[in-house]
Every structure is written in structure tokens, then in C-alpha cells.
Structure 1
Amino acid sequence: MRQNNSIRVMAAASLLAAGLATHPALAARGADGDVRILFWQAVSNLNPYLSGGSKDVYAASIVLEPLAGFNEQGKVFPRLAAEVPTVQNGGIARDMTSITWKLKPGLTWSDGGDVTADDVVFTWKYCMAPGGGCAQAAKFDGVKSVEAIDRLTVKVSFAAPKPYPYSAFVGQLSPIIQQSQFKDCLGEKAPQCTEANFKPHGTGPFMVRDFKANDAVLFDANPRYRDPDKPNFASVTLKGGGDAMSAARAVLETGEYDFAWNTVVEPEISDAMLKAGKGTLTSAFSSTVERIHLNPYAVDAALGPKRSTKEAGPHPILSDPKVRRALALAIDRDTIVQAGYGTAGQPTCNIVPAPDIFASDAKIWCGNQDLASANALLDEAGWKQGSDGVREKDGRKLSLLFLTTTNSVRQGTQVLVKDMWSQIGVQTELRNVSASVFFGGDPASPDTYQKFYADAEMYASGFESTDPEKFMAGFTCDKIPNPANNWQGENISRYCNPAYDKMLTELRQTPGIDRRAALVRTLNDMIVNDGLVIPLVNRGEPSAISNQLKGAKLNPWDSQLWNIADWSRSK
């Protein structure tokens, strides 16, 4: 058992330093020592408004909290709020133009300051500040104003009736940040506030002790956490680096860690690890889709700052919808799932695969590999077979740079897709970069998924709510990453369709689950039929959990660390 005497001594020291062990009412807090978590995609930021990557959002959720969150069933439950507003309890206006939240009384930040409605108002202003490039701007779509009614009451008003108002300040993508800590970090100054971004004051069960970007984050139990008996652990060690295979092994075989997130490994490898009997591998299925994005804009390095933007002009190959459709038809999703995911993956042609009512059944054309149709489309588009088997047109080869993160399953999928595309005359160069860089959101890095300095790139994402409205808002024209928004836009595919934007506005104003679901299915079909996004796999979000760790409930709709305050170690 890893929790030896030295660790117990360190845990006790941590408790004493936090002023917890001497208080009899707090005797249970921290009794289980240190919990060790492994994210092979290392954390690069603890401010979700500057990075939409799951690794950063999940790590931040240990410290920062929203007004309400989503539990493992996808139901909204209060966090900092006293209750979830509804029409019935008077929290939601009957005309659906506003929602009013009441904070729990007596909440304090980890530095001792009071949590007030002003902090909620400031969080909105922070995200909306010009030049800030807020990564979660879609969370506040349709919000007209946020105002403090009194010290513990905040009213969110919408520009038009909002039938599903649980977006702003709900879920770990839009937690509340402390006004006094971030007040000088608005707009273009946001990325420069390193101390605040790396060590935010929070209301969660833990607070940051030490932060090393792209390496490790150390947390201590928050002595001001509102539940005097929690958390059960005195500290958290969140280590980053390595790969999915080594992360899974560190829990399932060696027992060095208690929890490892995103352990996507080939089925035969995970089966062998599980035989050690030290842990389990569990997947939470929801809306996460592994997909390929095709860039509609030119990406030649000679274009300088215009690269991968509308100003660069159309992509010389991928701006043709026939080429995009051919690339999608050439892919055998069943083979990809069998080779890389096993029971942790399901083939899909939808960008919204769940909940079931929102999943379109109209994507019959891409359900099966169809090389004949793919080749015919490229013939129609004027791409002729060359002597080397690679198609050519106007002196240009049909050659693509395909980028993804360094991960054995993703790289294996790359190899499979390269072979499938070669069967229709496409030449593919494969490249991978560290996930901590790819998802890091650093506006100075050329290798982020937002910059998209490649012809094609692959990654997975989904939405944390059971209603896809916010997710669908990430495909509107104004969400395209570019230098003006510090490359923080959510529309990675650069999809821009005025008809789509108009229908999204209709979705925002439409009540009733059946009517909303019909609109979401149509929006999904618009995206997939356009071809800039090629869905591949509805991916379960797998995590490796030690048999000694209790209470870790995987949550497909929110942070995987959403209930870390309840985690404990078996005695």
C-alpha cells in the first residue's frame, strides 16, 4: 500500500499548515492523506476562460466552481447557488427573459474574502471584455446583462427569451472567479496575469499550493471549504506528461497513482493491464466525438499572420466540397473503432451523438466506407490519378498535412486514415504534437488546435450539458479563431454558414424538448454535410481508477473531478 508513514507525516504537516488538524470539528478533513492523479495531457493553465482544453478545465474544477453543475446523470444541481432557479420557484421569469440566482450565505474565497454577487457580475465582464479572447464566450451567448440585485443575488437577463437558461455560470466551463484577484486582468491583459491564471483563489475543496505549467500542480485542502468534514484528502498531486498507455499502467499495474484520466489505449493492452487486479477502467459515454477537421483556409507558412484565416483565402484543395465529401466517404469507422477503441468507442457520423433525442439518423451516406463514390467525386472535381498513384490538378498534388496529439490510439487512427485516403489517391503527411501544447491555448504557439496550421487535424470534444445549444453555438461565423480574438474562438473548423447562424438564433428562442431536438438534428446535418468536420467515433471518456479509491464517479456531462470532495481511500 502506497500510503506509508512518510506520506502520513506529510499529510499531517499539510493539515497543520492549513490550520485544520487542531479543530475538532474538522477532524475528518484530510484524514486520507494525498490523492495522486495523472493527466498525461499536462495542465498548462488553471483559468478555463483562457483555455477550453478538458485537461485545464478539469484541473481548475478542483479550485473554481460555478453557480451550478451537472451530475453524472446530466441533471443540474446547485454548487455556489442556494438552489437551482426554475419557473416554479420564481427563479426563472415566466417570459424566459431572465434567471435569478441566489448565492449560499457565508461563502468565502480560499484567501478569506467573501463571495458576493459582484464576483458573478465581474466574471461575465471578464469574459466579455474586448480583446480578451474568452474561450468560453459561447456560454454567455444571448446574455444582455448581469446585475447584482443585492449582496447574494444576481440576475442574468437575456436579449430574447431563453428556453434553456442553464448556460452562463453553469458547469465547469464557466466558473466564478474572484473580482479582487482578476480586476486588473481584463481584455488583452488576461493572458499576462500569470499568478492569477496559475493560482486562482477559489471556493472548491482544494487550493493551489504550487503550479508548474505542463508538469505538475499541487493542491492542499481548502480550510475555508463550506463543508467542514470535506475533502477527505489533505492534498492532491496532479501530475502531467507521458502518454495514455503509461497513465493507465500507473494505476492498473504499478499502483503509483489513484486516478488517471483519458486513458484511451488499445483494447488488447488495457485487458492485459487489468489482470494485475489493482484497478478498473471505466468509460463514461456522452457527447464526446473524435473527429477530423478540414481547413477551408490556406495554410501556407508564407502567408504569415493571415495563415489559416479568412484573409488567407480559400484552401487550394479543401475549399471544394466534393473533395471533403470524398475524404469522408473513404473512411471505415468500424475498423477504427475495432483497432483503437473496442468497447470504449462507437462509430458515428454525427457531431451530436447524444442524448438520443438530439442524435440525427439522416447520416446514412457516411455510415459505411464507399471508395467507389469517393473516387468518382474526385474525378468530378478534376483530380486525375498521377503515375505515382497520387492525384493531381493544375500541377498540384492532392497532398495533405494531418495533425493530431501524441497518443498511440490517435496516431494509430492517423495511420489507418492515411491508408484509406491513399486508396483514393490522396497523399498524407502525418504529424503529432504534445497534447499539452495542442490544447494549451497559448496564442504565441504555432501548434495549438485553434491556430490550425495544418490541412487536417484530429481531436475529440463534446458538451458538458444535456442540451447542445452552447455546443452548437461554437460553429457560428463569429466564433472562428483569429488574431483579433487571440485565437480563442471555438469554431475550430472555420465553418461559416449564415443559414446555420440564423437557425441557431431560432434554437435559442425555441421552448420544448421535441422542437429543440429537431432543430439540433438539422444543425448537426448542416455541419456534417458540409464536410469540414468528419465525425469518426463516439468516444467514451475512459479513466483508470484504483481499487483503493472510493467515491470517484465518472461524469460525462461535467468535469471528471466534479465530486473530488467526496473521494476517499478505503481503509
Structure 2
Amino acid sequence: MRNTRAAAVIGALSLFAAACGGSTDTGSGRTADGGTFTFSIRADPGALDPAMAVLSVTNSVLSFAYDTLVYYGPDGKIVPGLAEKWDVKPDAVTFTLRKDVTCSDGSPLTPSDVAGSVNHITDPATKSPLNGVTVPVGMKAEADDAAGTVTLSTPKPFSFILENAPQIFVVCGKGAKDRSVLARGTSGSGPYTLTEAAPSDHYTFQVRKDYAWGPGGATTKESGQPDKIVLKVVPNEQTAANLLISGDINGAVIYGADRARLEATPGIGKLVISAGNGQFFYHQGEDRPAKDPAVRKALTQAVNLKELAGISSSGTGRPATGLVMDPRPCPGDSVTGHVPAFDEAAASAALDAAGWKAGPDGVRVKDGSKLTLRLLYGTTKGAGVQAAAEYLAAAWKKAGADVTLNGVIDTKLSESLTATQDWDVVWLPIGVTLPTQLEGFLSGPAAPKGANFAHLANDRYQKLVTEAVGKPGEEGCKLWLESESALFEDADLVPVVEDTVLVASKNAKFSIVAGSVAPTTIRMTEAG
């Protein structure tokens, strides 16, 4: 049976792209009450059931209609949401809910709604790709409606049990009773309600005027809060930039060449945020050349990663320092000094030593088989990724490999990763906020039975993670950072660059928190 969890790492900003901090603002600065805020999204979000939402674009859409127990604040600290207070233990956290929260259909939110949302994800019959990713393996939720509390517990101590909560959308009202309505509708307690879904074109939301339980007590009664939200599907970035300049939309996230044009355009608000790592993985299945760590390290040494970083990010990236994005719970650099350094001569010697000898056509051969690499990458990530794939292919061909490029759309990328397994190297960004969310992808059962799409088996990584996961919060940080370094040292995956994107706006201001527009921060502004 196909496991879909690996799809969780694919998306416009990657799943859980954290990018805390900052807001974008244009216009006169004077707020304009009511109105419509239009924001472009790069792809259709697909089915809207929160328990099945694996793409960042889907989660960004859902954030307008659903709440979470707690949120990340602008400074990365946890702030109240549906819960007004909480009590944390190593293996459990008990939340006390606000008493004034209602669902979009007017029904009161109950602890049972919260517990039902969590237990629905962990129910094996649901086949939720979030089980073991955003919701820890074995987590259970117990509600006490009389006391107004819900307790999330794990079978053993679990790092970041509180910090995990901002990523679990709570379903309530009619959707909790009949989840079929969630395919193209919403049923949450969030600040907006979906009123129109036109797949591949637009999604329209209407404000809830009574909403008063947002992050830290935010409401929808502030001056400038838009009455309507329109999320317009605009796959072409140049088109999105043109629409922004003309004032037909109020916001967009720009990855590629149009960044420079917008940055030079007067009247455009600009905010640069982190958007996940540019990196690649080696397939370590039994019949793959990269099963041999000597081959992985040699192929890594054959690439000038500094040049590759500039190419893949079109010169807008930052040095990669780890796998977890800001606001990372464990600050530090797990990359520097742990990735095999660029050395073409050493790469050639290592491949020779591993038994891969150059043939008459320059392609290396071992035991009668050529050193072939099928390089998989997503085509919706912009021209930089295409150029990066071509650069890698050239470097590896020079080292003696026969390289085939395979660029596919995101949905096909997921299928190739987990179902067909038709790849040897994949360029794949990951954007998670907690190191615990990586374990299922980087260890355990291999695809298609599990989420370990690259068939990784790094004993040191697993040992360090096993020790770290039982330590609360910061106490395990040294181990978490060491576990990432263990992966880099074995060239299981190769961090290249921390990508950034431009969040651009016109006649509106808003904050980006956890990689998405924070709905209660949107303010329409008068034209300057």
C-alpha cells in the first residue's frame, strides 16, 4: 500500500515552512475598513480535509478557517489560541480551553471536538499522512468537557509536545460529524469561513465578525480587517507579479526572477523570509549505486556546493545551517564542517577505490553495470531548481556517471518518491519546525511501506534521535543537532542552501507566521 507521508515534504513553501518574523506594508499607512484582500497561491490546494493536508499551499488555505490550540507568536514563543492556558509534562500536555469559542455553524467548541480532531488523525483507519509527522506516533487525546480541558499524551516522554500543537487544525461543528463536507468546504472556528471554492481558480472566504480568540486574543474587529479573502490560483510567477503591480491582487510570494522587478517597483511592500532548504537525497535501496557510502561521499565531493547554492537560489539564498527552520527550538549550526568538501581529484580516486572504473566512453562501470543516476526534481520550484539539476548532472557526468534528468510536477514527484521509486537522487526541500517531524522520513520502514523514501539506515542518527526524543525541549538540543550532522557526514542527504522568498504586497499589510499569512494581521490600506 502506498504511504503518502513523504508527500508532506513537498509544497510551494514546504510543509510547516516556519519563517516567523516580519510584516509587509504598502500604501499610505492609513487603514481602509472592509474590502477584499486578494492573495495569489501557486497551486490548487486540493481536498480541504485538515487530516489529509500535506502540502504547504493546503495548510495556508486552511489557516483562514481553522484554529489551533496554541500558536507561534512573532518572536517564536508559544501564545494562547483556543487554549488559554496549559500544563506540560514530559509525556503529556493538558490544555484549558476558552469558553467563548464557536464553530462557523454557531455551535460551541468543546474539548471533545479537539480530542476528536487528534484521534481522527491517529486512527489507522483514517490513513492520515499526518500521523507520525504533525501528530506524534501513539499520541492520544482525552477530553473532559465538564472541566473544559483536553489532554494530549504520548506513550513515553516526547520532546516538544507543546510545540507540536500549533500544527494541528481543530475541526468542529458539522464537519466533525460528517467529514465528507470537508473535501470542498470548511468547518472550523477560524476567523473566516469558506463561501466559494472554484478549484484551480479561486477560493473565497467571508469574515466572522464575532471572532475574538485568535493568536494571543486577536480579533477580527480591528480597523482595516478585510471582509473577504480571495485566494487566487496563479501558477505563473510573472503573472502574479504583474497582477500585484496593477493592483489586481494585494499579495504574493515570489521565488524567482520577478523578485528583482518587484523589489525595484515603488509602492510594493517587501519582506524576505526563509522558505526551506535546497538539498538533495541519495536513494540507498539495495540495487542503487548510492547504497555504498563511499559512492555518496565521492559524488558529493564532485560538486562545488557553494556554486550550486548560488545557482539553485538565483543568488538569493543563505548558507544552510540545519534541517529545521526558524523559529527552530534548537538554535545552532549542524552543517558547517560536516559535509564532504569539494575535491574533484578525491572524488575520482574514491570512485576508483569503490570499484567504479572509467569505461571507453568515460562512463564508470562496476561488475558490468554502468554508474547511472536518475535525478528527480520538481518543476514548480522555479528556474533555479532546473538550473541546479543541470549543474549537478554536468558535475556527475564529469566524474563519470551517466545522468538522466527527470523533472516532474509536485504530485508526480510524490508518486515517484514513494510508489514507483524511479530515482537515484532527488532535489527535495524540507521545511519543518521541529526535529521530531523528520524522524519518519529519515529512518524506519522504507517506502513504499513507510515514509523513509530514501531508504536511509544511519545507525548513529537513530541512536541520537532515540536519546533526544525522551528529553524535554532544550535539554535534548545538543543531541538533535548531532543527529543532523551524522546524516551530513555520511552524505545521506546534502544541504546546499537555505532558500528565501520575497513576500510582496500592495495596498495591504500583513504578517507572516509559520510560513503563512496570519489572517488576523491583515489590514487593508489606502493607496499612497
> CA offset at residue 100 of structure 1?
0.9
Residue in structure 2 matched with residue 566 of structure 1 by the alignment: 521
Q: Aligned pair in 2 of structure 1 residues 243, 375: CA closer, same or farther (>3 Å)?
A: farther
1:155 corresponds in structure 2 to 151
Counterpart in the other structure of 2:444: 477
5+ long unaligned stretches in structure 2: 1-30, 213-218
| Superposition RMSD in Å | 2.9
- In structure 2, the CA distance between the partners of 1:476 and 1:399, relative to structure 1 (3 Å rule), is closer
Give 1:386-425 correspondences, 5 Å limit: 386-406=359-379, 407-425=382-400
Partners of 2:511 and 2:325 in 1: how far apart? 22
Distance 1:372 1:353 in 2: 34
Retained in 2: the 8 A contact 1:39–1:238? yes
Alpha-carbon displacement from aligned partner over 1:336-365 (angstroms, at most 9, x marks no partner): 333343663123374347649543456425
Judged with a 3 Å threshold, the aligned counterparts in structure 2 of structure 1 residues 348 and 124 are, in CA distance, closer, same or farther, namely same
Of 345, 354, 367, the match for 1:372: 345
The equivalent residue for 1:427 is: 402
Secondary structure at the aligned position of 1:348 is classed as coil
Which secondary structure state, in structure 2, belongs to the residue aligned with residue 232 of structure 1?
coil
How far does the alpha carbon of each residue in 1:13-57 deviate from its partner, in whole angstroms, 9 at most, with x for none?
A: xxxxxxxxxxxxxxxx99432211112233223234323221111
Could you tell me which of 230, 233, 237 is aligned with 1:237? 230
* Match status 1:46 vs 2:48: yes
Distance of aligned partners of 1:55 and 1:503 in 2 relative to their CA distance in 1, 3 Å threshold: same
TM-score (norm 2): 0.83
* CA apart distance, 1:543: 3.4
Superposed, 1:167-246 pairs within 5 Å as 167-168=163-164, 170-171=165-166, 173-178=167-172, 180-183=174-177, 193=180, 195-226=181-212, 227=219, 229=221, 232-246=225-239
Partner secondary structure for residue 35 of structure 1: strand
Q: Is the 8 A contact 2:468 2:477 kept in 1?
A: no
Amino acid at match of 1:470: Q
* Structure-1-length-normalised TM-score: 0.77
Q: How far is the alpha carbon of 1:414 from its aligned partner?
A: 1.1
Instruction: Measure the CA separation in 2 of the matches of 1:283 and 1:430.
Output: 31
8 Å CA contact retained: 1:142, 1:160: no
Q: 1:123, 1:179 within 8 Å by CA — same for their partners in 2? A: no
Higher relative contact order (CA closer than 8 Å, sequence separation 6+): 2
Q: Which residue in 1 is equivalent to 2:317?
A: 345
Query: 1:12 — aligned with what?
Result: none
Tell me if the contact between 2:321 and 2:332 (Cα under 8 Å) persists in the aligned partners.
no
Provide the residue aligned with 1:510 in structure 2.
Answer: 471
The correspondence of residues 38-437 of structure 1 with structure 2, limited to 5 A, is 38-83=40-85, 85=86, 91-93=87-89, 96-137=90-131, 138-141=133-136, 143-151=138-146, 152-162=148-158, 164-168=160-164, 170-171=165-166, 173-178=167-172, 180-183=174-177, 193=180, 195-226=181-212, 227=219, 229=221, 232-251=225-244, 253-261=245-253, 263-266=254-257, 269-285=258-274, 288-297=276-285, 314-341=286-313, 344-348=316-320, 350-352=322-324, 355=328, 358-360=331-333, 363-364=336-337, 366=339, 368-406=341-379, 407-435=382-410, 437=411
Kept in 1, the 8 Å contact 2:173–2:187? The answer is no
Cα 1:64–1:114 change in 2 (3 A) is: same
Contact 1:349 1:367 in 2 (8 A): no
Question: Do the aligned partners of 1:283 and 1:344 also contact (CA within 8 Å) in 2?
Answer: no
Please, which of 549, 559, 563 is the counterpart of residue 508 of structure 2?
549
Q: SS where residue 118 of structure 1 aligns?
A: helix
CA distance 1:205–1:450, change in 2 (3 Å): farther
The answer (yes or no) to whether the contact 2:320–2:496 under 8 Å persists in 1 is: yes
2:462, 2:349 → 1: CA distance? 32
For 2:341 and 2:439, how far apart are their aligned partners in 1?
A: 25
Partner of 1:524, secondary structure, is: helix
1:48-73 CA distance string (max 9 Å, x none): 43232211111111112210111232
Q: Deviations over 1:182-223 (max 9, x none)?
A: 4565xxxxxxx4x31331211111111222444432222235
Cα 1:296–1:163 change in 2 (3 A) is: closer
How far residue 149 of structure 1 moved from its aligned partner, in angstroms, is: 1.9
Tell me the equivalent position of 2:19: none
Report the identity percentage: 20
- Distance between the aligned counterparts of 1:410 and 1:65, measured in 2? 34
Separation of aligned partners in 2, 1:124 and 1:438: 29
Question: Does the 8 A contact of 1:68 with 1:80 survive in 2?
Answer: yes
Q: Which secondary structure state, in structure 2, belongs to the residue aligned with residue 82 of structure 1?
A: strand
CA–CA separation in structure 2 for the residues paired with 1:568 and 1:450:
44
Structure 1 unaligned segments of length 5 or more: list them.
Answer: 1-28, 86-90, 186-192, 298-313
Instruction: Check whether the contact 2:335–2:495 (CA below 8 A) recurs between aligned residues.
Output: no
One-letter code aligned to 1:554: I
Q: Report the Cα distance in structure 1 between the residues aligned to 2:238 and 2:301, rounded to whole angstroms.
A: 31
Q: Deviations over 1:463-497 (max 9, x none)?
A: 23xx533334542304x442x57xxx3x4433234
3-state secondary structure, aligned to 2:395: helix
One-letter amino acid of the structure 1 residue matched with residue 248 of structure 2: E
Structure 1 pair 388/282, CA: closer, same or farther in 2 (3 Å)? farther
Query: What amino acid maps onto 2:310 in structure 1?
Result: Q
* Secondary structure, aligned partner of 1:366: coil
SS at match of 2:365: strand
Indicate conservation of the 8 Å contact 1:295/1:315, yes or no: no
Task: State the Cα distance separating 1:567 from its structure 2 match.
Answer: 0.6
- Report what 1:21 is aligned to: none
Aligned to 1:531: 491
CA distance in 2, matches of 1:144, 1:545: 39
Q: Equivalents in 2 of 1:342, 1:367: separation in Å?
A: 23
